[in-house]
Amino acid sequence: MALRTQVVVIGGGPSGLLLSQLLHRQGIESVVLERKTRDYVLGRIRAGVLETGTVNLMRQAGVSERMDKECLVHDGIVISHADEQFSINLKKLTGSNVVVYGQTELTRDLYDAREAENGTLIFNVENVQILDADSDHPRVSYEQDGKSYRIDCDFVAGCDGFHGVSRQTIPISARTEYEKVYPFGWLGILSETPPVNDELIYASSSRGFALCSMRNQNLSRYYIQCSLTDSPDDWSDAAFWQELKRRIPAATAESLVTGPSIEKSIAPLRSFVTEPMRWGRLFLCGDAAHIVPPTGAKGLNTAAGDIHYLYNSFAQYYATGDTLGLDQYSEKALARVWKAVRFSWSLTSMLHRFPDQTEFDLKIQAAEVAFMKTNQHSQSVLAENYVGLPY
């Protein structure tokens, strides 16, 4: 059975849903193909810090009501090293801030909006193939419940994440991949406890990195750097809390409210970029094209930057036939992607313990944090990147 639409969006994660919703608001038709179910997608625990640019895109998409009501506006973050800590005043240094709102909730809001507006979301698709992407008549084929389908379209947006089919559709001879795998992971837990601090704490210690975050006033999110050979079952709640307390300043550890974990998982850390992010009428967005370590909270926010560029390019094309935005998409998106990849790598390098570090290396790390503690310019560099560079 053959369907036809203007844009086929592969992937029903935050990138695909945000693009589909923004296109809909411009009267541009799309079909979202998602491998899993809505509940499966919403079951993924993800990060929770949004740049202002991402918040504005959600407003532009008409999907910000709950976020505006429930989000936490954060004007600063805390950096700690052993027992020393200092706050970086994002608002004072940049005039901007970030918003704490779970990515899962943002994805839920986007699903609700697409379904309320009768968006075409097709779940449980299998064997998705992108055909003739480098022609003027791309098509996407897929299977569902044992039946085969084909969608003829003008364009394909590959929003199918790191393990999707879109990036692989670009011939290896036509793309270049850049990767750095970090020698550690993050063990994260969710607990129905009040956050230990009003602002996020990025903690560096001789035992490794830790992060104190939250979702709301009674739902906290904590991470500790862990070995890649660890599994969540290796860590009892008691062991996790004990280790977290040893990595954050003692005064903060004393006020930490612990409780049973309601989610516990380990994420590996990697930096990855594929170039270009376009091949013919196929455009890659989000994790399909790039991955960052979660240290700088840039995963979703870099995906949002891609969606900003691609959405505006499609809107320009369908309004005027002008392909300038589409022709500049890959170069523009990659320029911002690489700055986010650099920032995420830099913050990861400053705050984590690496197995091959020498005593000299540890001294350099300590000096970098000590310099930042008293230097506004150093703090401004971090703050400008953390709140989000301009689109």
If you compute the radius of gyration of the chain from its CA atoms, what whole number of angstroms results? 21
Q: Is 160 in the site for ligand APR (CB under 6 A)?
A: yes
For residue 365, give Cα distances in angstroms to 89, 114, 352.
22, 46, 9
Residue 360: Cβ within 10 Å count = 8
Q: Which of 8, 9, 28, 41 binds ligand APR (CB under 6 A)?
A: 41
Query: Taking each helix axis from N to C terminus, what angle separates 376-387 and 359-374, rounded to the nearest 10 degrees?
Result: 90
- Residues 296-325 as x/- pattern, contact with ligand APR by CB under 6 A: ---xx--x----------------------
Q: Which of 332, 242, 245, 249 is nearest to 83 (CA)?
A: 249
295 binds, among ligand PHB, ligand APR, none (CB under 5 to 8 A by kind): ligand PHB
Q: Which of 295, 348, 365, 379 binds ligand PHB (CB under 6 A)?
A: 295
* Selected range binding ligand APR among 56-64, 163-171, 252-260, 270-278, rule: CB under 6 A: 163-171
Alpha-carbon distance 205 to 227, whole Å? 15
| Structure letter (DSSP) for residue 235 | -
7 binds, among ligand PHB, ligand APR, none (CB under 5 to 8 A by kind): none
249 binds, among ligand APR, ligand PHB, none (CB under 5 to 8 A by kind): none
* Selected range binding ligand PHB among 43-51, 60-68, 255-263, 366-374, rule: CB under 6 A: 43-51
377 is catalytic: no
Alpha-carbon distance 71 to 192, whole Å? 17
Alpha-carbon distance 14 to 157, whole Å? 13
* Selected range binding ligand PHB among 46-54, 256-264, 356-364, 366-374, rule: CB under 6 A: 46-54
Strands 84-89 and 98-100: unpaired
202 is catalytic: yes
Helices (H), the chain: 14-25, 38-42, 52-60, 65-70, 90-94, 103-116, 166-169, 237-247, 250-254, 299-320, 324-351, 359-374, 376-387
111 is catalytic: no
Residue 166: Cβ within 10 Å count = 26
Q: Is 51 in the site for ligand APR (CB under 6 A)?
A: no
Q: Which of 7, 8, 9, 11 binds ligand APR (CB under 6 A)?
A: 11
Residue numbers 206-225 binding ligand PHB by CB under 6 A: 211, 213, 221
Which residue of the set 101, 111, 142, 202 is catalytic? 202
| C-beta separation of 96 from 388 below 8 A | yes
| C-beta separation of 88 from 76 below 8 A | yes
| Structure letter (DSSP) for residue 346 | H
User: Residue 249 or residue 299: which is nearer to ligand APR going by CB?
Assistant: 299
* Selected range binding ligand PHB among 21-29, 268-276, 295-303, 322-330, rule: CB under 6 A: 295-303
| C-beta separation of 343 from 385 below 8 A | yes
Q: Which of 224, 297, 340, 372 binds ligand PHB (CB under 6 A)?
A: 297
| C-beta separation of 363 from 351 below 8 A | no
For residue 295, give Cα distances in angstroms to 96, 97, 131, 270, 327.
19, 17, 37, 11, 32
Q: Is 35 in the site for ligand APR (CB under 6 A)?
A: yes
221 binds, among ligand APR, ligand PHB, none (CB under 5 to 8 A by kind): ligand PHB
74 is catalytic: yes
Active-site residue numbers? 74, 202, 294, 298, 386
Q: Which residues bind ligand APR (CB under 6 A)?
A: 10-16, 33-36, 41, 46-47, 103, 125, 128, 159-161, 163-165, 286-287, 299-300, 303
Q: Which residues bind ligand PHB (CB under 6 A)?
A: 47-49, 200, 211, 213, 221, 294-297
